[in-house]
Structure 1
Amino acid sequence: MLKPPHNHHHNHHHLIFSLLILFIHLPFSISTTATADIAALKSLKTFIKPSSIPPSSCISTWDFSSDPCLTPKRTHFICGLTCSPDSTRVISITLDSVGYSGSLTPYISQLTQLVLLDLGQNSFHGTIPSSLSSLSLLQSLSLSYNSFTGPLPSSIGNLKSLQDLDLSNNLLSGSIPNTLFSLSHLTRLDLSFNKFSGTLPAKLPPNLHELAIKANSLSGTITKTSFTELTQLETVELSGNSFTGVLQSWLFQLPALQQINLSNNSFTGVEIWRVGKKLSSLVAVDLGFNKIEGYLPVNLSEYPVLASLSLRYNRLRGPIPLQYSKKSNLKRLFLDGNYLSGTPPAGFFTGVGEESPVIGSFGDNCLLRCPPKSELCLPLQKPMSVCKKVYGGKMPRRN
């Protein structure tokens, strides 16, 4: 009788099975996180007060008896960080907002593959370590809603890949470094609700879409050089500072600009040229609570998609231009708290039951015959004596 042929397949399967058993029992055989990354994560946790780490939080699962990038994550490092596809490097840290308190370790700089760092809505304090600037791949940095103090390190300009920088709602002070201009990929910058002083940087990052530096202590004038290359800028929020001077027309003619809020500053004038052939994307303008003098800028009525305009609580005088009432897409118009005179255009008060085509207010001015039934005419006009004083002893005639 012939012997059956030797089964090579059987041996092959047996070998694979033995190897698998071996792999399963090898510690961390699938991969190991880079030692520099582990050291940085340990330091990050050490710099956080243990008493501010709730048992249910991400940081409480950072137990270094296990490898941070090991998968599957059953009990350790189950949240707060993401690793590279080969499980050797940490590429993102997003801490949960549970009130972690402590400072940010300077060893964060060892996480050289980090693309995203978000420590927002916690209680971090102390300064922003300048070593952060060696994270050359970082695209998004958010330290918002913490208590960071001190200056913004000028080395921040080394974060060449940065696209989104949010440091809002901290206690940062000093001037805004001119090195921000080097951030050529930055599209969003939010430094609102800090204590920055001085002027705007000489040049802002050229590819910004969103600029927000609300509620700081910035002063000086808004100069064209700061905005020269900003052809993609859509939103400008600089309200609640101490800017002065005259706002010039180039600002309102930035090609992509949609919203501009410069309220609660100390601007004294505004120049608006005609839009001309250039079509503007400007939808909302807020220049309320400044010291703007002169007449209402009639050329604003030519901006084709302007829907919301506030010039409330300034020092404007003269009539409300008729053109404003003929602008059908203007839905919100706040002109209260000025010294506007004459009779407001009748076009604002047409319609059923004296309802106006716009929401807003013409109150607290020196207007004559503002229909008392119209909400637009609230609050009441200024006393005659105040208006007479402003207009040199006599009330201006009706327009």
Structure 2
Amino acid sequence: MIILLKPIFFFLCFFFYTPFSVSSTPPTEISALKSFKSSIKPSSIPPYSCIGSWVFSSDPCSNPKTIHFLCGLTCDDSNRVVSITLDSVGYSGTLTPLVSQLSQLVVLDLGQNSFYGTIPPSISSLSLLQTISFRFNSFSGSIPSSIGQLKSLQDLDFSGNSLSGQLPNTLFLLSRLTRLDLSFNKFSGQLPKLPLNLLELAIKGNSLSGLITKFSFTGLTQLETVELSSNSFSGVLQSWFFQLPSLQQINLSNNSLTGVEIWKPSQGYNELVAVDLGFNKIEGYLSVNFTNYPVLASLSLRYNRLRGPIPLEYCKKSSLRRLFLDGNYLSGSPPAGFFTSGGKYSTLSGSLGDNCLQGCPRKSQLCLPTQKPMSMCKQIYGGKKPRKF
């Protein structure tokens, strides 16, 4: 009996303690990773790079890693691929549709490489994706409308590509999205309705146009940052925009806005820190209501078509540290408190230059560049010399 047990005992020891050379990553995922690598031009894969270490003689999720699969992907405890995060070495190629076979993928980051072609609609089946970053590549075509199926997505960054067409209305369906960056592409048309939980919105450097409507922003109670500069938005920026309850930073410079309505903030609507509306076509008088935002520190309305005096309240605004009003048709004498030596406003930076102001001290940096010729100012003010107020 004892003699019979010995072989069984040693067999069991061998079974439990001898490593097997079988694959631990599911075959469908290995197939997807192989397709991922084969879609990249070999000449763009340096031997020292992450993709250069993807050698399929070893299992992608095996441990310990020695010379293969050193970086670029992460697996969970169940040997499923949960993250692809590439190094920025200039990989050039397309994104394989078979990436959809990585069904447990949470992060897909191809940023700062040279991927091109269209974004495969198949990525919309990756229901666990929380982060997609294709920033600064060369992807083209439109955003697949099926992207609205990614219910777990929190961070979407397609900035710095050549994507075009209209923004899909299905963006609104991304209910967990907190950060959206589509800057520096070729998108056109109007803003669609935006996801309700956004904290950061950046779509600067595109060709978006039309009015900025309340429809797009309704319900965005957590929105803190809006970056929509260098587009073609037009019309009047209405007062509801400044009443978004969590709004802190606004950049709508380099558009074609013709007016801005701003009221005194309602109770609780007081977190606005920085506003940039420079290089638009905003007409009318400089509103005093900007000064009613208690923590406003930076305001730019440079190179618009504003006229009339600078309200004294701007001089009394102790939180204000940057004020750019240059390139307008402001008239009268600027508040003397701006130039009080050693006063609480002596730290104010910016410019009041290139206006129709009188008595702006030439020695002050705030008064640079020099004011417009009086002949130009008279044309704007109906042939009369602007009033000193």
**Shared fold, TM over 0.5:** yes
**Residue equivalent to 1:391:** 381
Query: Is residue 221 of structure 1 aligned with residue 211 of structure 2?
Result: yes
- Paired residue for 1:40, among 10, 32, 36? 32
State the distance in 2 between where 1:392 and 1:215 align.
Answer: 36
Structure 1 contact 81–94 (Cα < 8 Å) conserved: yes
Runs of 4+ in 1 over 2 A off after TM superposition: 10-21, 276-279, 352-357
Residues 364-391 of structure 1: CA deviation (Å, up to 9, x unaligned): 0000000111110000000000000000
State the distance in 2 between where 1:125 and 1:99 align.
Answer: 12
Q: Aligned-pair distance for 1:75?
A: 1.1
State the distance in 2 between where 1:354 and 1:279 align.
Answer: 26
1:110–1:18 Cα change, 3 Å: closer
State the distance in 1 between where 2:45 and 2:142 align.
Answer: 27
Residues 32-59 of structure 1: CA deviation (Å, up to 9, x unaligned): 1011111110000010000000010111
State the distance in 1 between where 2:128 and 2:347 align.
Answer: 51
- Paired residue for 1:109, among 100, 120, 133? 100
Structure 1 contact 279–304 (Cα < 8 Å) conserved: no
Query: Is residue 65 of structure 1 aligned with residue 57 of structure 2?
Result: yes
**Residue equivalent to 2:14:** 18
State the distance in 1 between where 2:40 and 2:66 align.
Answer: 24
State the distance in 2 between where 1:18 and 1:279 align.
Answer: 70
Q: Aligned-pair distance for 1:351?
A: 1.8
Q: Aligned-pair distance for 1:396?
A: 2.0
1:354–1:277 Cα change, 3 Å: closer
- Paired residue for 2:332, among 342, 349, 363? 342
**Residue equivalent to 1:381:** 371
Amino acid at match of 1:128: I
* Within-5 A mapping of 1:97-246: 97-201=88-192, 203-246=193-236
Any idea what SS the aligned residue of 1:219 has?
strand
Structure 2 contact 337–345 (Cα < 8 Å) conserved: no
TM-score of the pair, normalised by structure 2: 0.96
Q: Aligned-pair distance for 1:84?
A: 1.4
Structure 1 contact 356–376 (Cα < 8 Å) conserved: no
**Residue equivalent to 1:3:** none
Which runs of no fewer than 5 residues in structure 1 stay unpaired? 1-5
Any idea what SS the aligned residue of 2:284 has?
strand
Q: CA RMSD in A?
A: 1.9
State the distance in 1 between where 2:34 and 2:89 align.
Answer: 19
Q: Aligned-pair distance for 1:207?
A: 0.3
* Identity value in percent: 71
State the distance in 2 between where 1:278 and 1:128 align.
Answer: 42
Query: Is residue 83 of structure 1 aligned with residue 79 of structure 2?
Result: no
Query: Is residue 27 of structure 1 aligned with residue 21 of structure 2?
Result: yes
Any idea what SS the aligned residue of 1:341 has?
strand
Amino acid at match of 1:172: L
Which runs of no fewer than 5 residues in structure 2 stay unpaired? none
State the distance in 2 between where 1:51 and 1:100 align.
Answer: 9
State the distance in 1 between where 2:172 and 2:343 align.
Answer: 54
Structure 1 contact 354–373 (Cα < 8 Å) conserved: no
* Structure number with larger C-alpha Rg: 1
Q: Aligned-pair distance for 1:356?
A: 2.8
TM-score of the pair, normalised by structure 1: 0.94
